[in-house]
Structure formats: structure tokens, C-alpha cells
């Protein structure tokens, strides 16, 4: 027996997440052999425990040997990716991560909170002013998309006039399956890489109080990033930090529209802002999949998997696994504990920006609750055609009322 739907098909995700298909797989075929057009095929992993197992065993499930987004990477792509930590295995990954961790300490991230609050007030205030005439505004274009972009540019110390370019490159890189964003070539990747390498060279010459300067300066152990390594890292940040947080913000708002009682709960009790971000990330699962490649023959969920096979982790499915979550299909902003895997299933690649993302989501909903308590949908959303990110392209809302 096979699932009735093809969870690989990007067009499926244009109308919403295939929850019934995921549930079927968890129940009947939790490690499911799946065909893939133009690729070698893969094993779809849909249970929470199996996703954690794969994430925590990089010695068997390699990030380096296979593509994260590309079905069947060429040798050239693999060698280009070797500097990007998302594609590295220990010990290279451990070394890279120990350098980038210097820029992502709780202290460095904590310093951004007030700035994030100002950005949220600026964006929500401008959207309120635009909507004052009574017409709807697009929550994605006006709030969810610029918020993480402004934060990431601030984090990097990139000048405000470069925001638009970084935004366009990031869209083209992630939305490659969507005709509206795809350019069909590698130009955005190369442009962003060149931009970031130049930023690194500049900070090396004139250090500032920003992350890029921290990464290019030698740490206590004498290590630092060269321009290429830094360029690749900035490229990863521009992609990983923008789309994901945008999707959490818009998907989170959609969750409140679908569950108005949770919005009323928040308006009455702001202490829920503490647990809200993790429930939003569990519920939305902004990243749909990451993939690994087996280095040895192994067993997972009762299946024998040969060496050299692709294994794809379906985070949204793991986040609705009722073996782990009580009332998994209920959106509950007070859920605690919340061992979701929206930031990855643990292990060495666990999201570097998790603290930052939680903070952005928390502060955004704090500001929305304060300034736009009557926020409401004003038309149907348009979703991205992608089996990689759970993304809303357009979301008409009314902020007043
Ligand atoms: C890795 C999700 C926000 C930077 C990841 C992974 C996931 C993820 C699923 C892969 C984990 C794995 O393979 O085990 C998310 C979600 C976000 C978010 C859902 C927002 C709600 C951010 C932000 C940044 C960021 C704001 C930085 C500014 C990264 C980086 C990695 C990563 C650099 C690679 C880590 C490594 O390979 O060691 N994220 N992320 N993410 N994320 Fe995030």
C-alpha cells in the first residue's frame, strides 16, 4: 500500500500542508521509500523519534555527502558546499560552529531585543497608518518579511541601502521551485556570495562591533574565518534567518486567525508570550525538510537502509506526532514542555538562530497584541510552491477594528 498523496510534490504545498498524508505515513510506513523526479529517490522519515535519531547521529547520517535542498548534487556542488556548515560533518562542522557560536551567544542576541522591539513598532505602526484608510494591508510584505530582514542586516552590520538586494537574493535562493521567484540559474547565489565576501574583507580592514567583525578576527584559539568561509556563512544566514522567521510570523498569525480563542487568551494574559514562540514554530514548522545521506548500512524505524541513500526528515510531521505531544493537533500557546523539532531534531546542526528567532516571534506578537488587538484576515492567503519551506507569499489583513 502507498500513501494517497505524493508528499514530495511541491504543488501540493500551495494549498496547505499534507497533514493527512503525514499521519498516514507515521502510522503505516514511518520510514518510507519515495521516488523523486530527476533524483535518486529517498527515505521519508515522519516520526519524531526517528527524526531525532537521524539528527543526532551524523556519523551515519551525513550532511556533507548529500544535498540539503538539491536532490542529487554534482561533485562541483558538493565541493562548493564544503564551507557551508549546514553541509559539513564533524570534525569540520565542530570547528566552524565553534567560530560562529562566538557571534550567537545569549549576550549578543539579548542585546538585540530592544532593537527588535523598535523594528516591530516601526513596521506595525507603518502598516496601521497604511490601513487607516480602511483597505487591507499585506502582512507578509509589510511586516513578516521586512522584520527578519532588518534584524539580519542589523546583525551583520549591513547598511540599510543593501536590504532590498539581500532580500531579493534570499527569495530567489529559497523559492527556487516557485515560478514567481525562480531565476533558473545560480546568479543569486553567486551575487550574494560575492557581496558577503566583500563585507568580510571590509570588516577585516575596519573592524566594527558586529558579528562579521567578530568572525574574521582571531578568537582565543587563534582561529577565524577567511573571506570565502565567511561569504558562505553570510549566505547561509541571509537565507536561514529570513525566510524561516518570516514563515513563523505569517504562519503564526494564520494560526491565531484559525484559533481566535488563543488570540483572546493572549490578549488577556501576556505571560503566555513565554511559551508562544515554541508553539508557533511547532505548529507552523517553517522548514519542511532537511536531508542526510547514509554513510553505512543502517536500520531506522524497522527498515534496513543501504549506504549512500538519501534520508529526508519531515519536521512538520514529527511536530504533530501524538506519540510525543498530547493533543498534537491542537494549537495551544501555553504548551509546556514543548519538545518540538521545528529547529531541527537536536544534534550538531540544531538551529544556530533559535534564540534569535524565538525572540523575534515573541516581540512581534507582543507588539501586535498591544497595537493591533483587532487584527483580522481580509482575504485568502497565497502560499509558496515549495516542498522545502512552509511559506505564505501574501496575506491580506485588517489591523484595526
Ligand atoms: C539550521 C529552522 C531561524 C540560522 C536550522 C535547521 C532548521 C532551522 C530546521 C536545520 C537543523 C538540522 O539540520 O538539524 C529554523 C526556523 C527558524 C530559524 C524554524 C525560525 C522560526 C533562524 C535564524 C537564523 C538561523 C533567525 C540566523 C539568523 C541557522 C543556521 C543553521 C540553521 C546558521 C545551520 C546550523 C548548522 O548547520 O550548524 N534552522 N531556523 N535560523 N539555522 Fe535556523
The pair phi, psi for residue 212, each rounded to 5°, is -55, -45
Q: Give the model's pLDDT for residue 19.
A: 92
Enumerate the domain spans of the chain. 10-398
Average pLDDT value for residue range 161-182: 70
Average pLDDT, the chain: 88
DSSP 3-state assignment of 34? strand
CA distance 362 to 202: 34
> Fold for domain 10-398?
Cytochrome p450 (1.10.630)
* Confidence band for 58, pLDDT divided at 50, 70 and 90: very high
* Least confident window among 37-41, 44-48, 190-194: 37-41
Q: How far does the centroid of ligand 1 lie from the alpha carbon of residue 63, in Å?
A: 14
pLDDT at residue 10, as a whole number: 78
pLDDT score, position 290: 93
Contact 144 CB / ligand 1 (< 6 Å):
no
**Structure-block grid coordinates of residue 76:** 562541483
281 vs 8: which has the higher pLDDT = 281
Ligand 1: which of 52, 98, 112, 244 to mutate, most ligand atoms within 8 Å of CB?
244
Per-residue pLDDT averaged across 145-166, rounded?
86
Share of the chain above pLDDT 70, in %: 93
- Looking at the predicted structure, is the pLDDT value of residue 176 above 70? no
Render pLDDT for 297-312 as a digit per residue (tens, 0 to 9): 999 999 999 999 999 9
ipTM over 0.95: yes
pLDDT at 393 > cutoff 50: yes
Structure confidence at residue 182 as a pLDDT band (50, 70, 90): low
Helix (H, G, I), strand (E, B) or coil at 271: helix
For the CA of 313, the nearest atom of ligand 1: 13
Residues 6+ apart with CB under 8 A from 159: 153
Pick the more confident residue, 97 or 73. 97
Q: Is 357 in the pocket of ligand 1 (CB under 6 A)?
A: yes
C-alpha cell at 45: 522519515
Among 38, 57, 18, 101, residue whose Cα is nearest residue 320? 18
Residue 37 has pLDDT above 80, yes or no: no
Task: Tell me the pLDDT tens digit for each residue of 340-378.
Answer: 999 999 999 999 999 999 999 999 999 999 999 999 999
Candidates 140, 249, 178; CA nearest to 13 is 178
State if residue 290 touches ligand 1 by the CB under 6 angstroms criterion. Answer: yes
CB 25 near ligand 1, within 6 Å:
no
CA trace torsion 49, 275, 289, 246 (10° rounding): 180
Amino acid at each position: 500500500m502507498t500513501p494517497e498523496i505524493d508528499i514530495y510534490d511541491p504543488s501540493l504545498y500551495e494549498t496547505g500542508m499534507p497533514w493527512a498524508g503525514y499521519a498516514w505515513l507515521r502510522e503505516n510506513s514511518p520510514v518510507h521509500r519515495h521516488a523523486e523526479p530527476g533524483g535518486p529517490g529517498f527515505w521519508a522519515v515522519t516520526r519524531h523519534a526517528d527524526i531525532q535519531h537521524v539528527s543526532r547521529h551524523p556519523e551515519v547520517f551525513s550532511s556533507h555527502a548529500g544535498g540539503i535542498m538539491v536532490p542529487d548534487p554534482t561533485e562541483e556542488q558538493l565541493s562548493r558546499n564544503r564551507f557551508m556548515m549546514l553541509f559539513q560533518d564533524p570534525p569540520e562542522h565542530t570547528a566552524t560552529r565553534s567560530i560562529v557560536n562566538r557571534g550567537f551567544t545569549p549576550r549578543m542576541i539579548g542585546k538585540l531585543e530592544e532593537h527588535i522591539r523598535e523594528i516591530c513598532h516601526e513596521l506595525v505602526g507603518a502598516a496601521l497608518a497604511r490601513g487607516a484608510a480602511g483597505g487591507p494591508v499585506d502582512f507578509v510584505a509589510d511586516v513578516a518579511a521586512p522584520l527578519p530582514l532588518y534584524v539580519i542586516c542589523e546583525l551583520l552590520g549591513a547598511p540599510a541601502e543593501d536590504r532590498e538586494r539581500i532580500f531579493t537574493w534570499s527569495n530567489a535562493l529559497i523559492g527556487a521551485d516557485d515560478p514567481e521567484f525562480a531565476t533558473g540559474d545560480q546568479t543569486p547565489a553567486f551575487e550574494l556570495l560575492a557581496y558577503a565576501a566583500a563585507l568580510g574583507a571590509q570588516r577585516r580592514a575596519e573592524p566594527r562591533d558586529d558579528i562579521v567583525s567578530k568572525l574574521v578576527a582571531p578568537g582565543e584559539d587563534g582561529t577565524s574565518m577567511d573571506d570565502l568561509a565567511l561569504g558562505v556563512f553570510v549566505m547561509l544566514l541571509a537565507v536561514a534567518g529570513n525566510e524561516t522567521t518570516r514563515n513563523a510570523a505569517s504562519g503564526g498569525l494564520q494560526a491565531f486567525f484559525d484559533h481566535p480563542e488563543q488570540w483572546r487568551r493572549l490578549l488577556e494574559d501576556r505571560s503566555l508570550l513565554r511559551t508562544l514562540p515554541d508553539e508557533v514554530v511547532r505548529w507552523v514548522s517553517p522548514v519542511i525538510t532537511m536531508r542526510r545521506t547514509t554513510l553505512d548500512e543502517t536500520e531506522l524505524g524497522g527498515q534496513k537502509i543501504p549506504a549512500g541513500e538519501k534520508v529526508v526528515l519531515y519536521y512538520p510531521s514529527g511536530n504533530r506526532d501524538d506519540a510525543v505531544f498530547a493533543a498534537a493537533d491542537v494549537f495551544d500557546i501555553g504548551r509546556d514542555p514543548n519538545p518540538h523539532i521545528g529547529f531541527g531534531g537536536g544534534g550538531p546542526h540544531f538551529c544556530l538562530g533559535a534564540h534569535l528567532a524565538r525572540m523575534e516571534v515573541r516581540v512581534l506578537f507582543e507588539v501586535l497584541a498591544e497595537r493591533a488587538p483587532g487584527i483580522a484576515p481580509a482575504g485568502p492567503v497565497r502560499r509558496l510552491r515549495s516542498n522545502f519551506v512552509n511559506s505564505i507569499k501574501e496575506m491580506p489583513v485588517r489591523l484595526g477594528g
